[in-house]
Amino acid sequence: MTAVPRWAVRAVDVVNRKGKSVGVRLVRYTGKSPHFIHPKHLVDTPWHDWYVEHLAPSDVVLDVGCANGAHTLVAAGRCKRIYGMDYDPRHLAVARRTASARGLGNVHLFAWDVTRAFPFADGSLDAAPGDLRVAFAMLAYPVCDPLARYRYVLSRKDEPPQPSGFSAQRLIDSHNGFFRDEAHMAETSVTRIVASGGASALPPMWLGQPEADDNVPAAITDAFVQAYQRAGGTIERSYFPGAKHGFMQSAGGPSEKGVALMRDFAGRQLSGG
């Protein structure tokens, strides 16, 4: 196998890290959107808003991590009321302007740290007062144990840029920017909470795991799946051969397969199947 020149690897790394920010800026500078948003939100694909068919006009929805409201505002056209929460006020400002431009009066947006208890009274978002059940959950390449992932990327911080685009320093910076310290990472670990018996509910879950994920190693996901199953929860885990972390954001075979599996899983859960 011929070695890839170091300069070529560095070039790929720069394009991978800078490409997203360039694309976001071009969307606005070319007049495609009045806001800085990811180009993926401009692509009209039949699977992008797959969840809409599962919403009813009487539903009250909570969108956790709503960012610029791309999905929040689509859902608002189908449900009674929707709350969108995100930690980034800049993204929320875009969502508010877009909601106002579309005349959506049932959208409520606010900044919140999702590691804290949500600011809603028990039962206020449920079908009936006091009903705290979650029908199901669907995850793709989740960071279920932030501390384990942080220590993993620290172990790779001295590696040169990878052809895959993996950047340990970018992930280290993201962790340090979101979490207060390692104790905070450990506190918010879903794997730890489930393993210690601290989960108040264990809804049926679908989990998509890409084979070539060097962002969240398989060992971290395996530990979560094992803890969830030992606690009595059920997980349908789907593997995606050759796929990388973030594959659901790109059109193509793996993402189309993922959406089809998610739609099937959601449909079975909602129909009681």
We report the CATH number of the domain holding residue 253 as: 3.40.50.1820
Scored b (16 or more CB within 10 A) or e, 31-56 reads eebebbbbeebeeeeeebeebeeebe
Do residue 143 and residue 128 come from a single domain?
A: no
- Please tell me the predicted confidence (pLDDT) of residue 156: 94
Do residue 261 and residue 195 come from a single domain?
A: yes
Do residue 227 and residue 138 come from a single domain?
A: yes
Domains held by the chain: number: 2
DSSP codes, 154-177: HTTTTSPPPTT---HHHHHHHHHH
Where a domain ends, among 90, 109, 132?
Answer: 132
Do residue 173 and residue 245 come from a single domain?
A: yes
Q: What is the pTM of this model?
A: 0.68
Averaged pLDDT, groups of 10, the chain, 273 residues long: 49 52 59 59 64 87 89 93 90 92 94 81 63 77 95 92 82 89 93 92 93 93 97 95 87 87 89 73
Where a domain ends, among 99, 132, 165?
Answer: 132
Do residue 175 and residue 252 come from a single domain?
A: yes
Scored b (16 or more CB within 10 A) or e, 63-82 reads beebbbbbbbbebbebbeeb
Where a domain ends, among 102, 132, 162?
Answer: 132
Do residue 88 and residue 191 come from a single domain?
A: no
- Please tell me the predicted confidence (pLDDT) of residue 121: 74
Do residue 206 and residue 107 come from a single domain?
A: no
Do residue 271 and residue 203 come from a single domain?
A: yes
C-alpha pair distances (Å), 105 with each of 51, 85, 92, 125: 21, 16, 15, 18
**Residue 66 lies in domain:** 53-132
Do residue 153 and residue 235 come from a single domain?
A: yes
Report yes or no: 159 and 203 within 8 Å, Cβ to Cβ: no
Distance CA 32, CA 64 (A): 26
- Please tell me the predicted confidence (pLDDT) of residue 9: 47
Do residue 265 and residue 139 come from a single domain?
A: yes
Distance CA 91, CA 146 (A): 23
